[in-house]
Structure 1
């Protein structure tokens, strides 16, 4: 209790002598030290929500997480992928045609 009273008396003395700007500067510094981590944490979470993408690999359907507008490899099959508009796309050389295989059932026709 005595420590707080001494601190308060020091601030009052500095304010009456004409050094109120020093007290105000100290209080502003304390406010910034308290508020900066809170604002930084909120800003980081906002950025993470906008840039973190969870999707399936288009090759092996393994679900994992990546950052938007970056290139990464699938941890399961090793395919090079690019994260665009919230989904994973294969990164292929120009001129490559990407097709999807479709299974066709076989029917025997009798004569």
Structure 2
């Protein structure tokens, strides 16, 4: 015959005693007027748990508003950059300015930007 107690009715007091000691210390601190200390610790733990989440959401929002993806006006290479900054095309090396979500060439004032068009020579037969 099995003389042991059923496992369902077994209760491990060593695990519970740790929690009881913690609760007794907390009760003692609140009873002598140090509840503000416990409240401060709980608030600090809450801030430490919530701060990474808030920072992650804030960084995602900021990046979604400030990163643009467009083509280089010189070579047509598509890449990303931060809005309202100067950058250089990684393909052709052209200095670019990011304005209103698009790349534009960074040229000195007074420079006229033109596009060359190749016109093939045709001979007219009369």
Q: TM-score, normalised by structure 2?
A: 0.79
**What's the RMSD between the two structures over aligned residues?**
1.7
Listed one character per residue, the Cα deviations across residues 21-73 of structure 1 (whole Å, up to 9, x for unaligned) are: 00100000000100111101111111111111111000000001101111110
User: Does residue 107 of structure 2 align to residue 92 of structure 1?
Assistant: yes
Which ranges in structure 2 are unaligned for 5 or more consecutive residues? 1-14
1:52-102 deviations in Å (ceiling 9; x for gaps):
111100000000110111111000000000111111110001111112334
Aligned residue pair count: 111
Q: How far apart in 1 are the matches of 2:77 and 2:29?
A: 65
Q: Distance in 2 between matches of 1:81 and 1:8?
A: 63
Larger radius of gyration between Structure 1 and Structure 2: 2
For 2:24 and 2:120, locate their aligned partners in 1 and report how far apart those are by CA, in whole Å.
90
Instruction: Tell me whether 1:24 sits opposite 2:20 in the alignment.
Output: no
Greater Cα offset, 13-22 or 93-102: 93-102
